Amino acid sequence: MSGALGGLVVADFGRVLAGPYATMLLADLGAEVIKIERPGSGDDTRSWGPPWVGDQSSYFLSVNRNKQSLSVDLTDPDGLARARDLVARADVVVENFLPGTMDRLGLGYDDARKINPDIVYCSVTGFGGNNQLPGYDLLIQAVGGLMSITGPDPDTPTKVGVAMVDVITGLHATVGILAALRHRDATGEGQRVEVNLLSSLLSALVNQSSAYVAAGVVPHAMGNRHPSIAPYEVFSASDRPLVLAVGNDRQFASLAKAIGLPDLAVDERFSTNTARVAHREELGRILNDALAADTADNWFTALTAERVPCGPLNDIDDAIALAERLGLAPVITIDDDRRDAPITQVANPIRLSATPATYRSAPPLLGEDDTEEGSRG
């Protein structure tokens, strides 16, 4: 066994992001993941560029390492036979076709468990298994309410800058799969795991969705402000933006002292979080005036020393550099004898002391494992 999930075989019928992200996490932890792709074109994200790394899409590379690729025509009887053979020997099936597609192909859950009774079968959909609506991240952000609380104001709905709903759903799929495997280990019984993008988003909205279902409050976009905490937004240092994320009164007192205005902490307008939320406009003007006296990096150093949560507004290159300085080892390089050059990627964030994630192979070329029938380990 190599890794915590060594010995597990995953038949990956996933495409685009949610399914492939889940199966890459399983692969990083040791599972053998065999990716089924359309002959000729493969996963949609193979063509999603720029940016390109050579002739490969950086999007595809981001979620498909440690996998094998089989090009299989699921509309062809021979292709279906190959797919069924894979399902028969797999521990896990992951698919994110429109509901009913796998059933029509004879590869649905009921078909799979006839040939593999203890299979763990994960279906990822946009809106649940009885709905034929296509599920793309931007669409779910819109209809699921995320865009209504994102952006500078209620009149400017804005999407999050990454397909976050897909990522969250992929994480939920992974948790569901691991829970089902634990149950199978204990009882020998497989089961179906179902996750969908809309339900995953509503759960991930946490305090915002709770505001409505528990208190009847419909949240709206507030720019970079928080509906329940202050100061918790973006301010202006002398050179660039700076974020303050002050979560309690102690932190606010430390902030007030560090910027040379200790009396703010006992001012009745600002002495409690509730008061600060009610007077956020006045507080914002005072803090912006004070923070304009120095650079974002200097404030980051000074305020962090006082345990005040803050930081400059980084680009992604700055964010990677910060993680490196903190010793988080955010970047890994995969040397793969099937490639002319190493592939550089973001590391798996899960740290296991005994069975850490491994990086055994770069994302596969389309169909590169066809001749080996998915047997490369």
Structural contact between residues 27 and 50, judged by C-beta atoms closer than 8 angstroms: no
Say what the pLDDT of residue 1 is.
56
Q: Is 160 helix (H, G, I), strand (E, B) or coil?
A: coil
- For the chain, which residues score pLDDT lower than 50? 374-377
Helix (DSSP H) and strand (DSSP E) numbers for the chain? 14, 13
User: Residue 344's closest CA among 331, 356, 361?
Assistant: 331
Structural contact between residues 237 and 295, judged by C-beta atoms closer than 8 angstroms: yes
User: Residue 300's closest CA among 250, 226, 241?
Assistant: 241
Beta-strand ranges (E) seen in 171-291 are 191-196, 232-236, 241-245
Query: What is the pTM (predicted TM-score) of this model?
Result: 0.91
Residue type, 304: T
Question: H/E element holding 184?
Answer: helix 164-187
Say what the pLDDT of residue 81 is.
96
Q: Do domains 9-204+328-372 and 232-236+241-312 have the same CATH topology?
A: no
**Residues 211, 217, 220, 223: is their CA dihedral positive or negative?**
negative
Residue whose tokens read 């339900």: 199
pLDDT digits (tens, 9 = 90+) for 60-118: 999 999 999 999 999 999 999 999 999 999 999 999 999 999 999 999 999 999 999 99
Q: Which CATH class is domain 9-204+328-372?
A: alpha beta
Say what the pLDDT of residue 376 is.
43
Say what the pLDDT of residue 249 is.
97
CATH homologous superfamily of 232-236+241-312: formyl-coa transferase, domain 3 (3.30.1540.10)
Domain boundaries, the chain: 9-204+328-372, 232-236+241-312
Tell me if residue 137 is catalytic: no
Beta bridge partners of 121: 93, 192
**How high is the mean pLDDT of the chain?**
94
Say what the pLDDT of residue 155 is.
94
SS (H, E, C) 76-119: CHHHHHHHHHHHHHCCEEEECCCCCHHHHCCCCHHHHHHHCCCC
Say what the pLDDT of residue 293 is.
96
Catalytic residue among 28, 43, 91, 166: 166
Beta bridge partners of 192: 121
pLDDT digits (tens, 9 = 90+) for 309-329: 999 999 999 999 999 999 999
